[in-house]
Structure 1
Amino acid sequence: MSGIVARVLVEPGTPVQAGDTVVVLESMKMEIAVVAEQGGVVKEIRVREGDFVEEGAPLVVLDAHRAES
């Protein structure tokens, strides 16, 4: 779903587990939690609060290998 980035809840270096909320989008007056599909460490954030994003756009890049070590 496309929408506006309401909040970014992580920063580079943050460890996350599958299912953790990393970004909150606002669309049609609703807030939608975007969750990590897998565990890892946040490597890069590609959006800022207020950005408009299309469905399927990469928002956060995880380094899954760092979580295993």
Structure 2
Amino acid sequence: MEREDWAAKGLNSFEEPETPPATEEAPLPPGARAIAAPVPGSIWKILAEPGAQVKRGDVVMILESMKMEVRVEASTAGRLTSLTARPGQIIRAGQRLGIITTES
């Protein structure tokens, strides 16, 4: 009986949405370092805005992955020149989330 109800409501099968292919990321200019996602998940909170000065180890954003908060830290000191992620966005491991330009 329950299976017939599911079928009548169109809930008797599940198709996973197609994952879009990874996009090509433009090469970084000299003196720039990427901020990469350490794990797949979603962007929960952005703590630094473009233009901010960051030190190595500063937390730039927080991801949610498997019900855990994962800190994304600046890998170098410099100016956060861009963010390519926004809160709620689903991301893959290694995806570029932003760019830090070093002051050399």
Whether the TM-score (by the shorter chain) exceeds 0.5 is yes
* Superposition deviation, residue 48 in structure 1: 0.2
Matches within 5 A, 1:19-34: 19-34=57-72
Higher relative contact order (CA 8 A, sep 6+): 1
Provide the TM-score with structure 1 as the length reference.
0.91
- Decide which structure has greater strand share: 1
Choose from 60, 63, 68 the match for 2:101: 63
Q: Distance in 2 between matches of 1:63 and 1:42?
A: 6
Unaligned ranges ≥5, structure 1: none
* Superposition deviation, residue 8 in structure 1: 0.8
* Superposition deviation, residue 60 in structure 1: 1.4
Q: Distance in 2 between matches of 1:64 and 1:52?
A: 28
Query: After the TM superposition, which segments of 4 or more aligned residues of structure 1 sit over 2 Å from their partners?
Result: none
Provide the TM-score with structure 2 as the length reference.
0.61
State the one-letter code of the partner of 1:15: Q
Count residues in correspondence. 66
Unaligned ranges ≥5, structure 2: 1-38
Taking only the aligned residue pairs, the percentage that are identical comes to 35
Q: Distance in 2 between matches of 1:23 and 1:11?
A: 10
Mapped pair 1:52 → 2:86: no
Mapped pair 1:13 → 2:51: yes
